[in-house]
Amino acid sequence: MKQTRILHLLQSNRPVDNVIIKGWVRTRRDAKGFSFIEVNDGSCLKNMQVIADSSLVNYKEITKLSTGSAVAVTGSLMESPGKGQKWELKADGLEILSLTPDTFPLQKKRHSDEFLRTIAHLRPRTNKYSAVFRIRSELSFAIHKFFKDRGFKYIHTPVLTASDCEGAGELFKVTTLDLDSVPKKDGKTDFSLDFFGAATSLTVSGQLSAEMFALALGDVYTFGPTFRAENSNTSRHVAEFWMVEPEMAFSDLNDAMDLSEEFLKYLTGYVMDECVDDLELFAKYVDKNLMKTLEGLITSDFTRLSYKEAMEILSKSGQTFEFEVGFGKDLQSEHERYLTEHYFKKPVIIYDYPKNIRPFYMRINDDNKTVAAMDVLVPNIGEIIGGSQREERINVLEARLDKLGLSKKDYWWYVESRRYGSAYHSGFGLGFERLLMFLTGVTNIRDVIPFPRTPSSISF
Ligand code: 4AD
Ligand code: MG
């Protein structure tokens, strides 16, 4: 017989007979003639309190049920006379599906996030991590809903690619060559003998492909895994992360900024409405200011200022930063967080970055020094979104590729999109895990992704 999920039972407005639930024992408490068993099935944060009385044939085994054991319970959903829950399940039968030995590492006490990372295969069985991953699931759905409601088309861009979108050289190479005897030509690896006949890597962004589809379908987005071999062991970087990348034809930098603000407000509101219980856990145990921060994002107009203005604020701030500030230098996380957390105390969009610290595809402004780029910074995180208007002028694009020493031959198809029906267009990339960190108050990106991939760490 199929079980009913605890989530649905707890929403019941009347008692129900002949119910069956299946789940894992969180705790057991014995009283005279009874055992109270808290069962969780992962469908929601709350447990079902099961009342097993001594008339059950296997009562003796039931009183030995350990944390983590799997059970199937049949019985009646009844109003609970006890405090703390509206409903409880009076068991007619309780089948022990598997008894967990007491070596089970998740006992009742609270475990550190660092410890739980070492048992990433078991951590979704804790309250906190099951909540993270339920929110992650809802948030994915919200992303599709946002775009669907606005007529955007969902494009599946390839993971395997021969082009480096960001030009930062942080590529994971993909090859079927025998690494113990790599074929060489003029002293270099001969990729013409490799699987694709060309040097290949995992994508760092779906943007270049998405642009081709924006220039055909108008408003599009991609949402998928991206890979970066950055050797930065920070709490905000992982080697495999998910990115959401909308791209809009006939739209400029302001349109991209408007969309980014609307998008973040929508997603934050969605999670606040749909994930009430799970979010409450984070507001209570992880970040006491969480709800204030989330409401702050929804209610404030994001401050928009140029990179030049941001640099002026930073130079005059009187703060001592680890990294120097000044025109031409990139903003580091400490600068971003100063601006959004201390100076403006709300989300900030910075635009018009110097062209020499931004990739080839960004549209060059009339000053010929800056590009139509933008980054969205939010409290506790810093950069959460990066985007731009794209260079649609073929001669400017070709000159830029030449200047950067990038081969026009490799990007021939990208350039060609500017030869036929070129149109101004813009878009951005949202780091999905960074948004989850913002929404939950979790401070390490490793704790919002099922199995994090970071330098020297590929277990699970
Ligand atoms: O700013 P980035 O590098 O922008 C792009 O890749 C553009 N092609 C996007 C576009 O315009 N379509 O990355 C976008 C976002 C960042 O703002 C950050 O939130 C996230 O992706 N991100 C990472 N998240 C986790 N780990 C990493 N190593 C990340 N690198 C970037
Ligand atoms: Mg960026």
The span from the CA of 167 to the CA of 430, in Å, is: 18
Query: Which two three-digit tokens encode residue 177?
Result: 């060559």
- In the structure, ligand 2 is a single-atom ion and the residues with CB under 5 Å from it are 386
Mutate-to-test residue for ligand 1 from 204, 363, 390, 434, highest number of ligand atoms within 8 A of CB:
434
> 207 in ligand 1 pocket by Cβ < 6 Å?
yes
Nearest CA residue ID for atom 6, ligand 1: 205
Is the distance from CB of 40 to CB of 24 less than 8 angstroms? yes
> 386 in ligand 1 pocket by Cβ < 6 Å?
yes
Q: Where are the domains of the chain?
A: 6-98, 123-168+204-447
- Whole-number Å distance, alpha carbon 45 to ligand 1 midpoint, is 31
- Range 6-98 has CATH code 2.40.50.140: yes
Query: Which two three-digit tokens encode residue 160?
Result: 């395997």
- On the question of pLDDT at 107 being above 90, the answer is no
Nearest CA residue ID for atom 2, ligand 1: 386
Query: Which two three-digit tokens encode residue 105?
Result: 């590492």
- Whole-number Å distance, alpha carbon 114 to ligand 2 midpoint, is 27
- Number of Cβ within 10 Å of residue 63's Cβ equals 14
Phi, psi for residue 352 in degrees, rounded to 5: 60, 65
Model pTM greater than 0.85? yes
pLDDT tens digits, residue range 38-51? 999 999 999 999 99
- On the question of pLDDT at 53 being above 90, the answer is yes
Mutate-to-test residue for ligand 1 from 243, 439, 444, highest number of ligand atoms within 8 A of CB:
243
Query: Which two three-digit tokens encode residue 243?
Result: 């990115």
Q: Tell me the percentage of the chain whose pLDDT exceeds 70.
A: 100
> 243 in ligand 1 pocket by Cβ < 6 Å?
yes
The span from the CA of 297 to the CA of 303, in Å, is: 11
- Counting every residue written for the chain, the total comes to 460
- Whole-number Å distance, alpha carbon 287 to ligand 1 midpoint, is 25
Q: What is the pLDDT of residue 110?
A: 87
Q: Which of 94, 81, 76 is nearest to 17 (CA)?
A: 76
CA distances from 4 to 11, 47, 97 (A): 12, 13, 17
Mean pLDDT of 399-418: 94
> 260 in ligand 1 pocket by Cβ < 6 Å?
no
Nearest CA residue ID for atom 15, ligand 1: 431
pLDDT tens digits, residue range 188-237? 999 999 999 999 999 999 999 999 999 999 999 999 999 999 888 899 99
Helix axes 276-285, 253-274, angle to 10 degrees: 90
Query: Which two three-digit tokens encode residue 169?
Result: 């050289």
Give the domain 123-168+204-447 fold: BirA Bifunctional Protein; domain 2 (3.30.930)
Element (H, E) at 330: none
- Number of Cβ within 10 Å of residue 168's Cβ equals 12
Contacts of 367 (CB under 8 A, 6+ apart): none
Is the distance from CB of 383 to CB of 336 less than 8 angstroms? yes
The average confidence (pLDDT) of the chain is 96
Contacts of 247 (CB under 8 A, 6+ apart): 207, 210, 211, 213, 214, 219, 220, 221, 222, 425, 426, 427
Q: What is the pLDDT of residue 1?
A: 66
Nearest CA residue ID for atom 27, ligand 1: 237
> 222 in ligand 1 pocket by Cβ < 6 Å?
no
| Rounded to 5°, angle at Cα 259 from 257 and 264 | 100
> 370 in ligand 1 pocket by Cβ < 6 Å?
no
Q: Which residue has the tokens 């794209």?
A: 390
